[in-house]
Structure 1
Amino acid sequence: MAQPTIVDSRRRGTPTQCPSCRILLDFDRPHSYSGKLQIRCAECKYVYEFIPQSQESSGAGTSTGAGASNHGFASGGGGSGGSGRRGAGTDADPIETEYYEILGVQVMATQEEIKKAYRKMAIKLHPDKNRDDPAAEENFKQLSIAYQVLSDPNLRAIYNRNGQKKGGGGVEPAGGFQDPEVVFGTMFGGERFHDWIGTISIVFSGKDMKDALENEQEQQTEMAQYISAAQAAGRPVAMGPGGQPVMTPELLARRQQRQKALQDKKTAARKERVERLAQNLINKLSIYTESAHGENDKAVTASFKEICRIEAEELSKENYGYELLQAIGRTYISKGEHYEASNSFAPLGWFHGARQNFNLIGDTVSTLRAAIELKTVFQKLQEAEQSGLSAEHVRKLEEQAAEQGVRVIWKGAKLEVEGVIRNVCDEVLNDKNVTAKTRDLRATALKLMGEAFISIKKSGEEEQAKPASVAH
């Protein structure tokens, strides 16, 4: 029996994962070898067998160490990062499958499966969730690159045919690869929604979180320097009830100044975003407001609703498109009704405003509950890893944590989108630069647009809604 071939790995993040220490790894697959292919972990030196998913799913192969084989990124079938063969690949048999392995999908995966896989892996590999892993940034970057290539049908076809040349070149978008955090921020909406909601900033651990962490780190550094200087000079350091050092007035003032600067920056960005989106919305509503002779103009109403419906059909194809259309549409309808109620009878306007606040409180509570559930799942995951449970059990917990993470991010993103859209509607409906009649028509158009948005069916619902054919 041929002796197994053992290759050394690198800590880069693809396409395998050590079942012992769970570090994400990369390795160069030999063009030819005899016996089984085994990987030596770069971190803990554990040796385990590499099994492509196409073999693993059929039950072939076993692990050679203390635990079951767990690759982290599954092979897309047909080999590892590079097949080593000559000639061009095909969509069914790519010359290289590394990007498929990074995302953990088969080479024939649909675009929807690729998007779903990216969302789950992005939660799992985000650097802010893996701060103790020095390879976290690189892992996240490689995930982003793989997604940008495979989510573009043209780039994917080129990649399948030619592969990606190591060290630069090969398959790349026309404008170059986007920053991984920017790609992460488009998990909900994508480019088509940019004119409607702008860039969602509440990505689970995005720029706002990084700014906050940097601010906190600066405060800790300043406090440590203050304590060190006080001890060197023999001065006492005031301590609080909890045994923590008390900030001096100077340190407190600097802290408040930094926090104000961060808040001012966020406020200015929000204002700019709302003003830009308000102008976009005014332009879209003008199709109705500049054509309709009144609120009961049936011809213009029917035409405008059809225009909105066609655009909504296109928007629904984006990530979470259906869910975003529902959120935006309901907000448009609510704001249009609130405006009309306020102009006709003030108490009705108060009622609509109270209902909006009640819904906002409900969504906030739901988001907090989901975040607590996510924290519980991650705690279970940590306990599972420390207790020596099987790799399969840990993998299932990881999938559960990733799915819950996506739900938490979506709820937070939905809250942000609805808040921004409400501000945008207020700008549009309270615009004093136009006549009251124009504002009234905008409110009507806003409701019509909202109705068109929420009328869109979720993918698959159309087929389910059709009655079964009757045999004659």
Structure 2
Amino acid sequence: MASASNDDHVRSGFLAILSDPEKRTLYNRYGKDEHIMSQGPNGVSLEDFDAEEFFRFMFGGEEFVDIIGDFELAKSFKYALSELLSENEQTTDRQNQRSSHAAERAQAHEERIKTLSENLLSKLSIFTDTLSSDSSALESTQALDKFIKKIHADIPNQLQAPYGEHLLHAIGYVYSSKARFWLTKMDSQEGHLGKRLLGFGKNFQSTWKDRIHIVKETVKTVKCAVQWQQSVSRLTSAVDDESENSQLPFQHHSGHLEYSGPTPSEPTALATNKPVSSVKQKQKSSTQPIVPLTDEEKRKLEMDTTAKSMEALWRATKLEIECIQRNVCDQVLSDPACSRQIRRYRCKALSKMGDIWQQATLSN
């Protein structure tokens, strides 16, 4: 694991790039030679910034690596930075790179789901591997108690991880909802007609509940992104206004108004065929003083922009995590290589783990 100072260095660099429009404007204007995005004494460049490391340590750290894996958002962010740094390349080269990147992402996505599915099966095996089709109720209870103790033993360290409580709640919800979905689906395919109809109804209800959850989370993510964009726009306007105010030709010195700007000949009203009142009004509006933000106001605006950027980033990351976990659960719970009874045991263990994770809090 990287040191704490390394972690803080990565975070500060990311926030500088993400939320400081002035630094981003400087890079866009001057290109690669002057792209240093610094915060404090330590400078972080776009080339040196490790998006994957940032996402890994910002959301979950080492405690969640075997549950979450590598973030696809981090890979996309890393690719976007590489495109930004190579903006002078030809269009054909860019198209080839994008096609290659899309293929790599698809392969990485499949490998991620496969690896995380194996990791989840390993966790569930504490319960499922001790049972057989003819296990007694007592044996099932003892195995479940052992499994529950293992879950509770891991929670304190997981809660201490960055965004640990939020991650447990988000992943726990997916575990519980997917376990219910597959249990009710199996119920709708087994037994007498009444049992099947009841199972079908519960399965339909579970499906729609999960879809509504996805819609709500997507709306929240979009709302956070819009709020962050608005905050960035306000910060950009404040920086621009401050810059324009510092370049005004009229300045006050000891109570006297001095002019230090250029002195080209100005067009008169007659030369421009415009009314005198129109020219005066334009000159008046162009010389209205711009009131800059105080240091305190600017600091609050910067803090608000940073907070909104992190909230929007977390929301987007949460959507990705929940999507991946749904795919992982589907692969584990629909495994055709195992019997229905084993799949039911997996559902039971996964549901219990999901319920416990959703109830975990730092105050416990």
Q: Which runs of 5+ in 1 are unaligned?
A: 1-98, 104-113, 146-177, 223-250, 463-472
Moved more, 339-348 or 364-373: 339-348
Q: Structure 1 counterpart of 2:311, which letter? A: R
Identity of aligned residues (%): 26
Whether contact under 8 Å (1:189, 1:319) holds in the other structure is yes
Choose the corresponding residue for 1:440, options 333, 344, 350. Answer: 344
Choose the corresponding residue for 1:299, options 124, 139, 142. Answer: 142
Specify the alignment match of 1:419 in structure 2.
Answer: 323
Q: Structure 1 counterpart of 2:325, which letter? A: I
Specify the alignment match of 1:54 in structure 2.
Answer: none
Tell me the TM-score normalized by structure 1.
0.54
Q: 1:205 to 1:140 in 2, by over 3 A?
A: farther
Choose the corresponding residue for 2:226, options 369, 372, 387. Answer: 372
Choose the corresponding residue for 2:306, options 376, 382, 402. Answer: 402
**How far, CA to CA, are the matches of 1:365 and 1:193 in structure 2?**
26
1:142 aligned onto 2:64: no
Query: Matches of residues 215-254 of structure 1 in structure 2 within 5 Å?
Result: 218=89, 221-222=90-91
Choose the corresponding residue for 1:182, options 36, 52, 66. Answer: 52
Q: Structure 2 counterpart of 1:122, which letter? A: F
Residue deviations 1:42-67 (CA, integer Å, cap 9, x gap): xxxxxxxxxxxxxxxxxxxxxxxxxx
Q: 1:143 to 1:327 in 2, by over 3 A?
A: farther
What is the deviation of 1:346? 2.9
Residue deviations 1:11-63 (CA, integer Å, cap 9, x gap): xxxxxxxxxxxxxxxxxxxxxxxxxxxxxxxxxxxxxxxxxxxxxxxxxxxxx
What is the deviation of 1:137? 4.8
1:284 aligned onto 2:184: no
Whether contact under 8 Å (1:144, 1:180) holds in the other structure is no
Query: Matches of residues 41-440 of structure 1 in structure 2 within 5 Å?
Result: 119=11, 122-126=14-18, 130-131=23-24, 132-133=26-27, 134-137=34-37, 142=42, 180-186=50-56, 187-203=58-74, 206-210=77-81, 218=89, 221-222=90-91, 259-292=98-131, 293=135, 297-344=140-187, 345-387=199-241, 388-440=292-344
**How far, CA to CA, are the matches of 1:140 and 1:127 in structure 2?**
15
Q: 1:399 to 1:342 in 2, by over 3 A?
A: same
Residue deviations 1:413-432 (CA, integer Å, cap 9, x gap): 10000000001001101111
Whether contact under 8 Å (1:332, 1:446) holds in the other structure is yes
Whether contact under 8 Å (1:202, 1:409) holds in the other structure is no
Rg larger for: 2
**How far, CA to CA, are the matches of 1:376 and 1:214 in structure 2?**
26
Whether contact under 8 Å (2:121, 2:332) holds in the other structure is yes
Tell me the TM-score normalized by structure 2.
0.69
**How far, CA to CA, are the matches of 1:128 and 1:208 in structure 2?**
20
Secondary structure of 1:199's aligned partner: coil
Specify the alignment match of 2:258 in structure 1.
Answer: none
Moved more, 355-364 or 420-429: 355-364
Residue deviations 1:170-216 (CA, integer Å, cap 9, x gap): xxxxxxxx963233112111111000011223259722433665798
What is the deviation of 1:267? 1.0
Whether contact under 8 Å (1:126, 1:136) holds in the other structure is no
Q: 1:448 to 1:391 in 2, by over 3 A?
A: same
Q: 1:213 to 1:351 in 2, by over 3 A?
A: farther
Q: 1:437 to 1:294 in 2, by over 3 A?
A: farther
Whether contact under 8 Å (2:168, 2:357) holds in the other structure is yes
Whether contact under 8 Å (2:159, 2:165) holds in the other structure is yes
**How far, CA to CA, are the matches of 1:182 and 1:274 in structure 2?**
18
Q: 1:140 to 1:259 in 2, by over 3 A?
A: farther
Q: Structure 2 counterpart of 1:327, which letter? A: A
Specify the alignment match of 1:240 in structure 2.
Answer: none
Whether contact under 8 Å (2:38, 2:44) holds in the other structure is no
Secondary structure of 1:202's aligned partner: helix
Structure with the bigger percentage of helix: 2
**How far, CA to CA, are the matches of 1:270 and 1:127 in structure 2?**
29
Tell me: higher relative CO, structure 1 or 2? Use CA pairs within 8 A at least 6 residues apart.
2
**How far, CA to CA, are the matches of 2:309 and 2:144 in structure 1?**
41
Residue deviations 1:137-172 (CA, integer Å, cap 9, x gap): 565993779xxxxxxxxxxxxxxxxxxxxxxxxxxx
- Please tell me the root mean square deviation across aligned C-alpha atoms, in Å: 3.4
**How far, CA to CA, are the matches of 1:430 and 1:314 in structure 2?**
31
Secondary structure of 2:203's aligned partner: helix
Q: 1:211 to 1:122 in 2, by over 3 A?
A: closer
Whether contact under 8 Å (2:175, 2:329) holds in the other structure is yes
Whether contact under 8 Å (1:326, 1:454) holds in the other structure is yes
Total equivalences in the alignment: 286
Q: Structure 2 counterpart of 1:323, which letter? A: H
